[in-house]
Structure 1
Amino acid sequence: MVAVGPITSATAAHHVFTVVIDGAEETSIHEGVIRCSGGGTLSVASPGVLEVSRLKHVAVRGGGGGDVRFARCGFASAEACGAASFHRCDAVRAVDVAGGVSVRRCRSADVERAGGAVSIRRCKGAARVHGAGGELRVARCREADVGGCPEVSLGRCREARVDWCGALGVQRCRSAEVSRCGAVRVDRCGEANVWSCGNVIVRRGKVNVVEAHQPQVWHQKLAEPAYSVPTEIMTKGRRTCLKSTPMVFYDCLRTA
């Protein structure tokens, strides 16, 4: 590694990033540019903003609340930074980020304890987010695993698992497993299972809803209403049908 082109600034010393490249020794950078073998670079674009590009394995910590931007890296990790963004990387990881996290066109993403909003788009593999302080948006991912977020929006994911979140919107997902959330809205999903949630709104989807206070199915009597057992909600056209799974019961309401 060769450091060139220092940037002098009165506030640069307050944003010191600790960088580990390819498992080597830790390196501190708060100004200038570090060029690595293979064409990778680390550069301080402005005080508190570190840009990392074309490195196979890189981990960045600290920075005094500064931001880190990764582009075209292999494994990229940001820990205890102000904000983090990843673009066209393989596996990315963000832990204890004070601000927001943005992931675009990466293979997999793992976000844990982010203080701001989190946005993940076009993730070829799995996207895991636990503990986002702001709004979470996940779109076009193969698999989404979400927990502990106040507001979640999932779109065009093959598989989704959501637990212990606030408001949740699921749109155009093949399958979804939802538990212990607030208001849930399902739009055009293949199949979704919802447990112990608040209000559930379904639009063109197949949803199995089980309330938290309900006993198991085999404890129910056949004479009891069908709404006391797991309910399958199907919408088709302008009619909404509620179908209980263990008994033959239909109740179709016109939604017009």
Structure 2
Amino acid sequence: MVTVDPKAAASAHQFTVVIDGVETAVHEGVLRCSGGGTVAVVAPGVLEVTRLQHVVVRGGGGGDVRFARCGYAGAEGCAVASFRRCGAVRVDGARGVAVRRCRSADVERAGAVAIRRCAGAARVRGAGELRVGRCREADVGGCADAAVARCRTARADGCGALALGRCGSADVTRCGAVRVDRCRDASVSGCGAVAVRRGKVSVVEALKPVSPPVYQQAKPVLAPPVEIMSK
């Protein structure tokens, strides 16, 4: 059921909202759903979604979407997507992403990403600036500038600058400048510069392969693992 609130803002931007598999176009007013959930345009190009069990919003390349207290919430092609106290969260192709107090988060192809206090896993692939804090598990890859702090387990692959702080176990591969601070057990392999402050880190640096004889295939030579411990 769609109810147009005369005080609700109208916008030239049109959102496509999929609720429990049913697709609806929304550009103004309030969409009220069974169970008390609402979808409302609160300002031009700004959509608020609250208390829906399964919802996906497609922004068509723009528009800001704010989710609160939803079960599964997804955003595709939105300018900015924010989530608060939701269950599973998924974002694809947003310039800005903010996730707070959700169960899990899965983000792909985003600009600036901030994820805090996820009870489960935070997975990010392809982000510019990434900040993850207080999640049970962080799994990041292909990020230009990433910082992960206070997570039980962390994995990072193919990132530029990476900072790890106060994590339990961490596994880092193929990253650029890596800084580790107060991690209980971390493994770093195939990375550039590694700086450690008060942590136990095993570093394995991949060396250049030795030139093979003719008709013989070479295998990369790895340096032996080195434990760096700093108090």
Instruction: Say yes or no: does 1:80 pair with 2:52.
Output: no
What amino acid is aligned across from residue 71 of structure 1 in structure 2? A
- Out of 16, 34, 37, the position equivalent to 1:40 is 37
- Out of 106, 129, 141, the position equivalent to 2:124 is 129
- Segments ≥4 residues shifted beyond 3 Å: 6-9
Question: So what's the TM-score if we normalise by structure 1?
Answer: 0.82
Instruction: Say yes or no: does 1:166 pair with 2:163.
Output: no
Asked if structure 2 preserves the Cα contact closer than 8 Å seen for 1:214 and 1:228, the reply is no
Partner of 1:147: 141
Asked if structure 2 preserves the Cα contact closer than 8 Å seen for 1:81 and 1:96, the reply is yes
Distance 1:44 1:8, change over 3 A: closer
What amino acid is aligned across from residue 121 of structure 1 in structure 2? R
Which blocks of at least 5 consecutive residues in structure 1 are unaligned? 216-226, 237-256
Q: Percent identity?
A: 70
Partner of 1:89: 86
Aligned length: 218
Deviation at 1:29, TM superposition (A): 0.2
Deviation at 1:230, TM superposition (A): 1.1
Give the stretch that moved more between structures: 57-66 or 203-212: 57-66
Cα RMSD (Å):
1.5
* Structure 2 CA distance for aligned equivalents of residues 38 and 50 of structure 1: 19
* Structure 2 CA distance for aligned equivalents of residues 121 and 190 of structure 1: 21
- Out of 50, 54, 59, the position equivalent to 1:57 is 54
| CA deviation vs aligned residue, 1:112-139 (integer Å, no higher than 9, x gap) | 001x210000000000000112x10000
Secondary structure in structure 1 of the residue aligned to 2:28 = coil
Instruction: Say yes or no: does 1:104 pair with 2:104.
Output: no
Which blocks of at least 5 consecutive residues in structure 2 are unaligned? 210-221
Asked if structure 1 preserves the Cα contact closer than 8 Å seen for 2:207 and 2:223, the reply is no
Deviation at 1:3, TM superposition (A): 2.2
Question: So what's the TM-score if we normalise by structure 2?
Answer: 0.91
Partner of 1:22: 20
